[in-house]
Amino acid sequence: MRSSRLVGLLVAVAGGALTLSAASLLVAQDYLVAQGVRIVIVSFALGAIPFSNLLAQSVAGTDLRSVGTVSGTALYRVAGFAPLAVGGLLDVAKAVPGVLAADPAPLVSALAAGAAVAGHNWSPFLRGAGGRGVSPAMGALAVVHWPGAVLLLAGLAAGRAVRQTALVSFGAILALPLLALRWGGRDAALAGAVVVAPMLLKRLTANNTMPPAGRRCRVALRRLLCDNDGTP
């Protein structure tokens, strides 16, 4: 009888220990998930800070939405090189904190990188307007896979040299996930793909303007390749 009670007690203790262990794992998992969600949200908020537009307004008194896209090119036209350099560095840097906070979780790092780019592209501070995401993409990739950042920078430089920035940058954007897979493995490819998605989507949506009926396929292709709608 005593042995049966002892066995029952041991079984109860073992069951309680297993239950506590499972509960601890679930709590830890929930904490990690919640932490990852917070990191992604903060990354989006940081990415949404419209440094280029703020500089254009403070230096030249111009809202970049009134002269075209909220971009470095537009900032240079209205305010000159010095504000462009400052704005470019800030746009690159704002994607870094979230990705650093997510390390060493590859999925959270990739989502934080993509969120920073998405925040830049569709900033709630600009009522959904924004840039094309190349600068924050370079900042995020500088942390998770620096050759990807070099690739995007090289695409910009080469594009400006031949006066085909949009087209050459498009090639660099498309090549990014494939080259990241080759150079950095699956984690780098994941980050590259998540960063590329909002950049391509931004080109297609063009600040939420719909192309006219009958020209949508042609305009969509033109937006992807040349980042404009072409002539009507």
Instruction: Name the residue among 106, 130, 104 with its Cα closest to residue 47.
Output: 130
Q: How far apart are CA 193 and CA 144, in angstroms?
A: 12
CA dihedral (163, 165, 166, 171) positive or negative: positive
Write down the pLDDT at residue 168: 92
Report the pLDDT value the prediction gives residue 208, as an integer from 0 to 100: 61
> Tokens representing 181?
């897979």
CA-based max dimension of the chain: 93
pLDDT per residue, tens digit, the chain (232 aa), is: 555 444 444 444 454 444 444 444 444 445 567 788 899 999 999 999 999 999 999 999 999 988 877 888 889 889 999 999 999 999 999 999 999 998 788 999 999 999 999 999 999 999 888 999 999 999 999 999 999 999 999 999 999 899 888 899 999 999 999 999 998 999 999 999 999 999 999 988 876 667 667 677 888 888 888 878 766 5
Q: How many CB atoms lie within 10 A of CB 24?
A: 10
Cβ(52)–Cβ(74) below 8 Å: yes
Q: Output DSSP code: residue 64.
A: G
Domain ranges, ordered by start, for the chain: 15-49+96-226
**Residue with tokens 């010095």, as numbered in its chain:** 82
C-alpha 106/C-alpha 104 separation (Å) is 6
Predicted TM-score (pTM) of this structure: 0.84
Say what the pLDDT of residue 3 is. 52
CA-nearest of 128, 146, 130, 126 to 138 is 146
Q: What stretch of H or E contains 168?
A: helix 165-184
